[in-house]
Structure 1
């Protein structure tokens, strides 16, 4: 465990995360970010820190208080055929706490305020034909909720876990993912909250030897949604595919800060997040950090973020970062692009008799469907496609 301690009271000029933490000031790179299970070690963020400067702190305020969660603020149900499910994984009992050490205040609050975590375990050598569905439903936007979920794929297992969020809540959440040797796990987290929901979620994963994790973040609903996945490719031959899809409407803030750490040799990583935005005040934030460590020889890694701004008044922030600590790699790169409709595409479609509204719908669907197709759950893919069409129709009528 990495435990942080308080810095001297006269420490000044440090704007990076947890600036009050000794030994972590100033934080120059993503890999130096301090971590602790104790909320007091972080202090209250001001919004000037590098990991908070794009986030509306006033809207996040309910999740920054180290106070007991409200009973019954969210209801969590798990539907599974073939996975072992436990609802009482205590703090300090493995695998809880072996991968996720909180890196910000909301995550530390969630760790402290959840005495018993949900634990989904895929038995060794098992291949599940149907997804494990974890359904999180909130009924009160003023109620403060905390949640900790541990997903463990034992050696040579195969499974998909679908984590869904609905309703109204202020939820701080930890999701801990362990993919053991030779296992293949897909985890899809879908945020379809009501417009007044606030959700801050930290996902931390470790992928062991010759194992593979596909991690997909889909954010459509919620007033403020911040889902930050951190994935360590720890074992030789480990593979990480990190994908994201978002559609921000007027007043929504949808954010993901992605960290992919190539630690073992001959690991491969693919990061692709796509988003669309429409309406006054629609905001998306994507920060991607890839670290290729000194022992990660033979690494092949690429990260990209693409955003399509559909109306005036919407804003997308995109910050890709890449650190390489070894010269012996197969390849590495990053890219980011944010823009409006391609007028040539629209002209091409309209010249063939397609109405402008329909042409725009086709362009947006073509742009976002690349991520939808990676999900691998046919019913969910159809549902998300319909949701995209509905979002576009609502924007056209606004």
Structure 2
């Protein structure tokens, strides 16, 4: 089995990973007077992302050769567990989609009982929202429990709320796509340009405060429920690493507008695992995602919105058709009504302070077998400070 390389950032600067070995690319490039030294010299992948597809391919070929040179690996390599991996690139903009039909239907049944599981527009376009780039954090960064307004109080039906730390803190198992290309404002990016625009793939946990989300999302969608943190895996796998993973997406139920049509197969055979405190609670399959990443990119730019190096867009929760493949706790526990069992006989409806969540994934490797796409992890820490709550008229009197 040939193990693909991935790119990232460590305390030594730009690095690459193959299996359990990490190579300091900036130092190797200087040592060899490589023509790629300029794009590998910085602390992050930013310069490489901006260099474009021909440079990406050339750098990847060179780095593969460097890994095959035992002397270079001995001098500039490190075991993975000795490396301080960091956020691999500067996140420019962040968009999160809602592209799993199973996830959308599960939430519809849970949150809108008696109504159609899918909203009327879902089969026409990849639904998404713009997130907060400044709170995308590296894997391993502690996640502070967010606070906000939650449904509650004697007049909850009339819009009354309580305020405090989220009681329904959740995870979302996702796959993210790192943009390296750019486009002019006012110009759409077609599905056919996906490979020139997107550098590679990461794992994403789009943490979600379900109670805050329930109160704030009407009519404009989530804000505080999502913007407090999004965790990103440390290593970016180039699209070329996933060539053997490409599969046809699910059959389309409704004709698509021309800008969403594609003659490429960008379904991906990525198998994911969600673990809470070391217990695997779910195994979602990305190949079942209804909307593919090339369609997501085309949709987010069809109005003329520009892209730039460092943009990140994520798939939305990856959920499979069966319960063992649900990609969030709100689905796995039926909004907390059926807690899942974890280690030591404990159960979880939603996350408690101290819980650690780890998402891992594998994909088919060139030549057979499967390779790891790394992991994204985060541990919940308590809300940062006590928060006041709204007082009733009786409490004021």
Question: What's the TM-score, normalizing by structure 2?
Answer: 0.24
More strand by share: 1
Q: TM-score, normalised by structure 1?
A: 0.24
Q: Which has the higher helix share?
A: 2
Larger relative contact order, structure 1 or 2 (CA cutoff 8 Å, min sep 6) = 2
